[in-house]
Amino acid sequence: MENALPCGNETILIVDDHETIWDFLIDALSELGYSVLLAENGLDAVEIYESNPNEIDLVLLDMIMPKAGGHQTFLRLKAIDPQVKVLLSSGFVSENEVADLLEQGACGFLPKPHRLPVVIKEIRRVLDTCEAVNG
C-alpha cells in the first residue's frame, strides 16, 4: 500500500533556476491538488508575488539564483507582505545565511537534493503552522 502524501489546494510559488527541479516539483505538487506558479529567478518571483496579492500561500525559494539571490528576494517579499510564508531551499548555502533568514521570519529550510516526502510534509507543515515573524 502506498504511503499517502498530504494533499492541499493552496497556491505555491516555486522560485528556482533549475528546470529539472521545477518539473519534478510542479508535477508532484499538482498531482496532490496544489496550484503551482513558477519563477525562474528572484526578480520574477517578486513580480509574480506582487501581481497576485493574497493568492500565493507559500513561496519555495531557492537561495542561489541569477538576477536576485534568495536572501535579497526574501527581504523584498517580506517588504511586500510581512505575512509571507517562505520555505528556503538550497544545496549550497551557509548555515549562517539560513539562520539569518529564519530569524527574520522564513518558515523553514529544505536541503537539496529534494526528497519528495520530506518536501511535501514540510510544505504542509508550513502551510498549517507557520506564522510569519513581525506579523
Per-residue pLDDT of the chain (135 residues; tens, 9 = 90+): 345 788 899 999 999 998 888 899 999 999 999 999 999 999 999 999 999 989 999 999 999 887 888 999 999 999 999 999 999 998 887 889 899 999 999 999 999 888 899 999 999 999 998 865 443
pTM of the shown model:
0.91
Grid cell at residue 48: 509574480
Beta carbons of 122 and 87 less than 8 angstroms apart? yes
* Residue 38 amino acid letter: L
Separation of alpha carbons 76 and 84, rounded Å? 10
User: So what's the pLDDT on residue 66?
Assistant: 78
User: So what's the pLDDT on residue 3?
Assistant: 55
User: So what's the pLDDT on residue 97?
Assistant: 87
User: So what's the pLDDT on residue 135?
Assistant: 36
Residue with cell 539571490: 69
Grid cell at residue 24: 519534478
Grid cell at residue 81: 507582505
User: So what's the pLDDT on residue 131?
Assistant: 66
User: So what's the pLDDT on residue 95?
Assistant: 86
Residue 16's closest CA among 8, 6, 26, 30? 26
- CA torsion sign, 46 to 51 to 54 to 58? negative
